[in-house]
Structure 1
Amino acid sequence: MTKLSRRIFLFTLLLVTGVYLQAQEITAVSVTGLVRTKPYVAEYPLKKFIGRDGMGLDFNEVHAAMVNTGILEPLSIGVEENPDGEGMTLTVHVREKWAFFPFPVFFMDSDGGMSGGGAFMDANAFGLNDKFIVAGIFGTSGIITSLIYQITPERNFPGLNFMGMYGRQNQQDTDQHKKDLRRYNQDTIIGRLGLDYSVTELLKTSVSFSLHRRSIRESEDALRSPEEGVLAGGINPALEIGRSHWDGYLLSQQNAKLDYTFLMVMDDPALHTISLRGNYERSLVPGFKAVVRGGIHYAPASPPILESSASSVGINILPNTFSAQHYAGAVLGLEKYLFKFSQGTLALLATYQAVYSYGPILEHQFDHGVTGAMNFYLSKIAIPALGLGLSYNVAADELTSTFSIGMSF
């Protein structure tokens, strides 16, 4: 073969190889198994894979993208030649989760008080992955009603959410032992309108506008009752970054969110709140992951009626009636996959938690303890997870049962 012939052969080989490699790129996506969900809604989280090498695609990343929709359970994932042209098609066959259901609610507190009610939820309203929930709880401590609607953001189009709440409650703020620090009756009205926008695949911004009306009612057994209520309008910008990974058994998430809230209070100085929360989960081996979480909640000059619980920084070793202005908390834990069956996946989570808090009555406090919980990740119902467990506050020598629903609006 002459030198010229070899050059022609090599050029032809490179040309053919280049066309072949280009043909391996993903140029289209397809989702099958849909019943209620609009096709473009299901295909939206897969658009980021267009242009990637189809033969080297990480199917665990595709699985995580579909699980993150909250309404779709991927059953099979594949790549095939595009029958309509060059390239390959990413195909995902899914099962839609049950998204339209009621929630009965009933619980009893340590003093014998009972509350009951329910909620009605559609986690895939109109097949658009929008969220709608209406709830009402009635009991010896008062009533709470709420209405939420959330429009899920799409590419180059912001999401929209609305929340309205009314409550008439016998409010109890307690210490670590559930001993009352304050006790008073209040009426609460909250309205909120928010926008959120996905800047990139990882970065999301949001802003919400709210109106708060909290008024104090007379009570015969009041304890350290606030002297007056609050009428305020607020603005809350936030910045969030996050991603997730599927290891074949459990979903690991890494995210951080920074919030700032400005409240213009009628006849009083304005209030400022800064909140920062982070979550880092890493799969050590498939089905076994490490969990690191932390948060700061800083609300100087916040009146008692606007104080927060420790859940604002992801801590659950304190009772949900515990109240303070500031928190700084951290969680270290391990989660182990146990087994999977048709209804979902069961996993065991153990954590060590520590939290600093400050409030005008207890002032500086430091609590730490351990928790254990069984988490059930549902595959057929559009609720990410249910958790049931125990927490032990070592500093306070207090044992508390915990229940969680892994859902946010």
Structure 2
Amino acid sequence: MPIATLPKPAKSSAAGQYLGFSLQQVRLCHYLLASPDDHIVSLELIDDVGVHRPDGTAFFEQAKSSISGNPATNKADDLWKTFANWAETCALLQINPSQSQFHYYVSTGKPGSLIMEISKATTPCESVVALAKIKKFCAGLEAGVGCEPQLTKFLSAGDSTCCAIIERCTFENQVDPVDAIRSHLKVFPSAVLDDLCAAAIGQARDKIDELIRTKQTPAILSSEFRKRFWAFVHRHSFANVLNPAADEPDQQTIDATILGEPLFVRQLRAVEASRTLIAGAVSDYMRTTADKVKWANDALVFEDSFTELDGQLVRRHMLVCEEIDILHPALAVNPRGQRVYLECAKTDMPLEGRALPSYFITGSFNCLAQIRRVGWHIDYLTLFPAE
């Protein structure tokens, strides 16, 4: 949906007052990083945060902080005001609720039975059952007191609208809202992760600020936001970090690689490493290999620097083996090999003084295992002779 055709702010929104809602800014940033390129993310337009799809359908999110109470209990006024606003907005803007999604997000706070019932209702039949429970609950409330007016307003939208919203409503309870943003940036070292999150949230906030000041629609195309954000990271050499060249491979690619049994996979199997550990090693190996090629081709890293890093890692492997043999002389062969691998994976080492993506060192160790410069089994050179 082009920004020019987005609806005018719904009656319940308050774009000019958004600056005090830091939770909404965080959620805005999350969806700008998570949404497909052609999706538009808005703030206080159709809801606290809205995601507008090219086909005209929408995703509504109401984000509530539990600092001053619990907005997820059965009697929470905020809860039923949200559902009433969803129903009203759909009617006002002629949005079909049966083709939209609704999300009630709370930063901590134990949920009541009704929001959990709603969140679990994913079929028409389940939504009818949930609506019946809501009506029964409403019937037991005193008229005009507490949440009753908002709940009654929601129910007045009619069973069809109510059931459509219930069926497509999900609930999320998250202690730290910034975790959602960290998950999109986890390829960066932990030392710079919080600064990167702050930069991303700040850019999202500043752009929305600018749109509101200039009386434009408070909505941002996700691909444009990400383009500006990554340009910012690159321009400022954020914390001197080398950016990943490839996304994490999908499970099918990982499974196919494991099936091919490259040497580094056989090395891990020799010490009975878990399937999860091997899958992670394959992912790290593939991403690291892609990074080396990309960084070298783009002249971001001098090729000899990879050789120097490998030498440091080989020495690190030797020291880890000696330390484990001294501290745990009775350790059986397979547990010893697993511990050697895990200790090596914990290594934190820069490349040309720049911080590396979190997977790169582990991937580099597996690259070295692939050519027999390191190994996890104490007799790896005998088990895997040179080809």
Q: Which has the higher helix share?
A: 2
Q: How high is the TM-score relative to the length of structure 2?
A: 0.26
Q: How high is the TM-score relative to the length of structure 1?
A: 0.25
